[in-house]
Amino acid sequence: MTTSLRIVPANEASWDDLQAVFGTRGAASRCWCQRFKLARGESFGNTPTEDRARRLRQQTACDDPASGATSGLVAYVDGVPAGWCAVEPRSAYAGLLRVFKVPWEGRDEDRTDPSVWALTCVLVRAGYRRSGLSHELVAAAVPFARDRGARALEGYPITTTDVIAEELHVGTVAAFAAAGFEVVSRPTLRRVVMRIDF
């Protein structure tokens, strides 16, 4: 059976479609890709789930294709919304800039450089997992970032697939390697910093 795959910038997708990818159960339905977006002093405990969802809607500009604002990609398989990839300038992730170990241990560079982009999340909807869709999303993020002025794109994948599904949101080393990313550092036993320079 042949399937069709279409990956679009989030502002060309509908908010209903993106909500369908995030679902109503599991970690994604609580996080809404805000882990690295929360400001200093904010936490999941003091920032309601509804607020995190509202923030993602603003960040992606879903339903507004004329908007230049977008912070990710939405994948459709046979017309059904099936995946999401968070990708935008690394400087947009305030929480990521504050952490020490991943991705910064052993690296000395300007954390706020807007020309370095980050791919922080790859989410595949239940029923579409183990189909290669996460590899397709990571690969699509490369021209997406490059065409919008990035001089480099990096990600922080997990080193093993022997983990619970909630941990796979950062992607796998295999998915990043297949898209041309190379290892920059190994800050922990389970996480790798990978990067592609343009």
**pLDDT tens digit string along 161-185?**
555 545 667 888 999 999 999 999 9
**CA neighbours within 13 Å on the CB side: how many for 45?**
1
Tell me, what CATH number does 15's domain have? 3.40.630.30
CA distance 137 to 53: 21
Alpha helices in 88-155 (DSSP H): 94-98, 101-104, 133-147
pTM equals 0.91
CA distance 70 to 2: 30
Total tally of structural domains belonging to the chain: 1
CA distance 53 to 35: 12
105 alpha-carbon distance from chain centroid: 21
pLDDT digits (tens, 9 = 90+) for 82-95: 999 999 999 999 98
Residue range(s) defining the domain that contains residue 17: 5-197
